[in-house]
Amino acid sequence: MSEVEILKITAMVIALAVAIIGHEIMHGWVAYKYGDMTAKSMGRLKINPLVHIDPVGTILVPAVLFFSGAPFIFGWAKPVPININTVMRNGGAKAAVAVSLAGITYNFLLAAFCAAILPFFLHPDSAVGAFMALLLYQSVLINVLLGVFNLWPIPPLDGAQALRYLAEGMHWRNFALWYDKIYPYGMLILVAVLFTPLSTYLFTPVEWIVNWLL
């Protein structure tokens, strides 16, 4: 394995870890701001990656995608525990929506920040500079991908959670009940979408956003 390949793999691993771990911490942090101590009491608001690693989502899935030559790489960390009833009691449905979208917001803001400072590393004169350029570029790609993916209104993704709580806040009871009924089948629907041409259309915004940022 060449030095360039090692740098690329290392950059992708770090970028993915920062993206998915930060995503989960933000869910817990916003919930904490609304009085939910669950994540904090369980030590899940720490940046220590060991408490957030999911063997499948953090290690296996990204590895399989990378070594199979997939055009993208993503994964997930261990979900941060949240007592949404406490959140809604203190802040209502809007607070629940804020908690649901906290991780996505983090991903898009981090992508924008990395894109903003990437130009300073586009002409590296050292291995460190080259690594930083790779890290920032991968961070933009991975965070935009995760942000768009989690916006899909398919349970159990964040977009579906936000839409469900929004419906509850707007008193769209039938819509909320419908979401509750399809929730147990969410993973089946998600897998079906990922392995059909429909996923191409749903991932199209990733290219638009990345091109705009870069």
Q: Catalytic positions, please?
A: 24
| DSSP calls for 133-183 | HHHHHHHHHHHHHHHHHHHSSSTTSHHHHHHHHHHHHTT-HHHHHHHHHHG
At a CB cut-off of 8 Å and minimum separation 6, what does 54 contact? 75, 76, 77, 78
Closest by CA to 97, choosing from 187, 42, 170, is 170
Chain CA centroid to CA 178, Å: 25
Q: How many residues does the chain have?
A: 214
C-alpha to C-alpha distance for 44 and 207, rounded to whole angstroms:
32
Structure tokens at 13: 């691993």
